[in-house]
Amino acid sequence: GQQVKQSSPSLTVQEGGISILNCDYENDMFDYFAWYKKYPDNSPTLLISVRSNVDKREDGRLTVFLNKSGKHFSLHITASQPEDTAVYLCAADQGGSAKLIFGEGTKLTVSS
């Protein structure tokens, strides 16, 4: 089954609003969680990542929230901009496994 799941294939947010992208995982041994961003016909690039020893990490407009008991993590993008329009892929792995498992992706559209 899908070990890392993004239940929303798409999300539309108004410019200036908060985009909230969600990801659920099954393996409670996962200890590394990441969000990648992908523009059409481009390669994914790492946005932000967090280890399981923290519940939250901020980087500018981006914040990752980790809920280990709920096996859930999310990405919040404040002051969303049209250039944030892209596919966002969540990913997780178990330390040292060298196997980063990706979710299906959520297509975010920020409308002006």
Q: Are 21 and 75 in contact (CB under 8 A)?
A: yes
The single-letter code of the amino acid at 105 is: G
Q: Give the whole-angstrom CA distance, residue 29 versus residue 38.
A: 27
Using the contact rule CB under 8 A, the part of the chain among 2-10, 12-20, 60-68, 76-84 near other proteins is: 2-10
Phi-psi group of 96: left, alpha or beta (phi > 0 → left; psi -120 to 50 → alpha; rest → beta): left
Beta carbon of residue 54, minimum distance to other proteins (angstroms, whole number): 16
Beta carbon of residue 3, minimum distance to other proteins (angstroms, whole number): 9
Beta carbon of residue 80, minimum distance to other proteins (angstroms, whole number): 22
Kindly tell me which of 85 and 105 has the beta carbon lying closer to other proteins: 105
Q: Give the whole-angstrom CA distance, residue 33 versus residue 61.
A: 18
Residues that bind other proteins (CB under 8 A): 4, 6, 9, 32, 34, 36, 41-46, 49, 89, 93, 95-96, 98-105
